[in-house]
Amino acid sequence: MQEAKRILICGSADEIPVSMLIAALERRQAPFLLLEQGSLHENVKLRWQISDKGLSGMMKVGDIVFDIRDIQSVYHRFMEPNDYWGSDANKQVIELSRSILQALMDLLDLLEARIVNRRRPMMSNNSKPYQAMMIRKVGFSIPDTCITNDRQALEVFRSQHPELIYKSISAVRSIVSKLDEEGLKRLGDLRWLPTQFQHRIEGFNVRVHVIGKVAFATQIISESTDYRYASLKGHPSCFRKYSLTEDLKTACVKLARICGLDFAGIDLIINPEKVYCLEVNPSPGYSYYEQATGQPIADALAAYLDF
Amino acid sequence: MFLILDYEKTTFGRHLLAAARSMHLNTLYLTGKEIVHGLSIDYRLTDHDKRFTIRFGKQLIRSEDIYGVYCGLDYFTPMLWPCFSVKDADYAAQETYALWLALLTTLSCRMLNSPALDTLAGHMLSVPETLSMALKHGLNIPLSITLESGSAASTLLAAHGTLQFTNLGQISPQELVIQRTDAKSVTKIKNHCRVTEILAGNLVHIALVGERYFISGRDENKSPFPIDLRIPQKIKTGLYSMQNELDLNMAEYQFRITSNREWIFSGYSRVPTNAMVAFGDTLFNYIVNYAIGNAGS
């Protein structure tokens, strides 16, 4: 009798990381179900309970009804319903979608399945200095950091580190920028909100995607301070496969594990003296790196879910 | 320095401040507004160092001078930046949360409670997560069902009479107590909902601060008062291990004791509001002593 295992893919198939994973699962002929964000409100129903007897319940996706205990693994990359639907959308659709998402995410917190990734550990990326303290524990170097709303404190830090960059403290995406003359002029605004400054590190960027115990590394050659936005500044970046040393691979796998993440995108800067770790991304857009280097990240993710 | 943080001044915080001052402790009580608009902050993090200095008025506080913290502040709301645009205020709230999560994590002193990834004031789990954890630690729990519509919930309401109800479509879902008379309005809800059983029985609150229990019941006016009740060993062990897993130093747990003397766990809060009324200064003196490391653990 065939095992009734279920792999749930949650998100929008229009998103490349989701569509590449679906293609990889299809290549493996793995039994997955797509919970498409755009039709959650029409297609998905949950009924589950927690009692003295434990967790039990059923889920309906389209016409398929199954026991939640048959869920073997889940990959989720949902957007906040307001962001997905936009402000002009039907309020009832947004509310219904939000309620299904909430019911599902509450379930994923409890389910004994492989969840890529669990909700709470993903929050470590909400504070970069908090995450940096976890990064230090694994033995990576971190950039010297000063977070301040005090101009005088910044001047002391600048006297120690003449070349600085500044960036957001939280998970809100910001363009990492050099603190140049223009930036210094804007520092009058500093008192309103503490800002994160770091000494600028020389070296090359490496993005490591860790899936369980497997790691794929990509070297990024860029003249820009923030390679993600390099093409906007007319300096396109070059991506190539990078061979990690066994120690470095072990450290990356350990870091993802310490952060509680089954799948992580780890950003490194490597120079002859040190390996710096800048951050651990809990929902990495891996497709960009796979398309640029041909490394089979989606296949590895599919294999991880289809164990 | 004993540091008290709250979104705004609370009865609990004020009592704690009074208790700390009666012990001649150098104490600072900061609200969300004061944290956001009244502090000068210098936070440093390197491979080998983590420390900060904050200036509040004429007071200069170094991280290493802080020997105890009570944090009742979960997060910062965008409303704390009324002059900012909606987008900027939201950004400021996230940035400030990120900074304070790091600042509090930097401290090596005892905290009530240690910051968690979800709130600065310690882990706050959803109802199903809380019940699941309680079950894991050997406690009996009520039934909690997540289901596909209000109409399905109203069927359960007819059977139970009173339930805890949550409409999961709301941005910040609220737990409400609903009665049979609410069935008609609940039926109209198309969203997924959660209902949790409310069992009959005597309500008991057990505050656990460090390893000391403060037990309170409710009198006929529903006012908390101290009760002398032997806590079954199984409950003690379960609460203690649950508090450890939650990484909390202080919490108050709610139980119903049924007619057949069964203890049913129904939830927890990180601020012992019932023990506060029932035990008054005894509780606050103990909390301060515990926070600064003077209480026998």
The answer to whether the CB of B267 falls within 8 A of the CB of B252 is: no
Q: What is the pLDDT of residues A78-101, one digit of tens each?
A: 998 988 988 788 899 999 999 999
Q: Do B117 and A136 touch (CB under 8 A)?
A: no
Q: Running along chain B, 297 residues long, what does each successive block of 10 average in pLDDT?
A: 97 97 96 96 97 96 96 97 94 97 97 96 96 98 96 86 92 89 90 94 96 93 93 96 97 96 96 97 97 73
Could you please report the per-residue DSSP string of chain A?
A: -----EEEEEE-TTSHHHHHHHHHHHHHT--EEEEEGGGHHHHEEEEEEEETTEEEEEEEETTEEEEGGGEEEEEE-PPPHHHHH-TTS-HHHHHHHHHHHHHHHHHHHH--SEEET-HHHHGGGG-HHHHHHHHHHHT-B---EEEES-HHHHHHHHHH-SSEEEE-SSSS----EE--HHHHHGGGGGGGS-EEEEEPPPSEEEEEEEETTEEEEEEEE-SSSSGGGGGGGT---EEEE----HHHHHHHHHHHHHTT-SEEEEEEEE-SS-EEEEEEESS--THHHHHHH---HHHHHHHHH--
> Distance (Å) from the C-alpha of residue B232 to the closest C-alpha of chain A?
18
Please tell me the distance in Å from A202's CA to the nearest CA on chain B: 16
Is B256's Cβ below 8 Å from some Cβ in A?
A: no
| Closest-approach residue (CA) in chain B for A142 | B47
Query: Which band of pLDDT confidence, cut at 50, 70 and 90, is reported for residue A1?
Result: very low
Please, what is the end-to-end C-alpha distance for chain B in angstroms?
21
Of all residues in chain B, the one with the smallest CA distance to A174 is B91
The reported pTM is 0.93
Largest CA distance in chain B: 62
From the list A95, A133, A148, the residue facing B41 with the nearest CB is A148
Main-chain phi, psi angles of A92, to 5 degrees: -65, -40
pLDDT at position B40 is 96
Asked if the C-beta of A199 comes within 8 angstroms of chain B's C-beta atoms, the answer is no
A141 touches chain B (CB under 8 A): yes
Mean pLDDT (chain A, rounded): 92
- Cα torsion for A111, A114, A115, A118, to the nearest 10°? 80
- Out of A7-11, A197-201, B54-58, B169-173, pick the least confident: B169-173
Cβ <8 Å between A46 and B146:
yes
The pLDDT value given to residue B297:
41
Using the CB atoms, write b or e for A191-206: b if 16+ within 10 Å: eebbbbbbbbbeeebb
**Model pLDDT, residue A3:** 54
* Nearest residue on chain B to A128, alpha-carbon basis: B98
- Round to whole Å and give the CA distance between B206 and A74: 38
Please report the number of interchain residue pairs, chain A to chain B, with beta-carbon separation below 8 angstroms. Answer: 172
Place of tokens 């109802």: B127
Residues A141-158, mean pLDDT to the nearest whole number = 96
Confidence band, pLDDT 50/70/90 cuts, at residue A230:
low
The residues, any chain, with a CB within 8 Å of residue B89's CB and separated by 6 or more, are B78, B79, B80, B81, B82
CB < 8 Å to B131, chain A:
50
Interface contact B169-A98, CB threshold 8 A:
yes
pLDDT class of A51 with cuts at 50, 70, 90 = very high
B96/A133 Cβ within 8 A: no
Chain-chain contact of B135 with A54 (C-beta, under 8 angstroms): yes
A193 touching B (Cβ < 8 Å): yes
Are residues B267 and B130 in contact, defined by beta-carbon separation less than 8 angstroms?
yes
Residue of B nearest to A123 (CA): B117
Share of chain A above pLDDT 90, in %: 81
Cβ distance B36 to B61 under 8 Å?
A: no
Q: Which of residues 103-122 of A touch B (CB under 8 A)?
A: 103, 106-107, 109-110, 120-121
- Candidates B41, B46, B149, partner chain A, best to mutate (most A CBs within 10 A): B46
Residues 6+ apart with CB under 8 A from A208: A215, A216, A217, A218, A244, A249, A252, A265, A266, A268
pLDDT at A198 over 60: yes
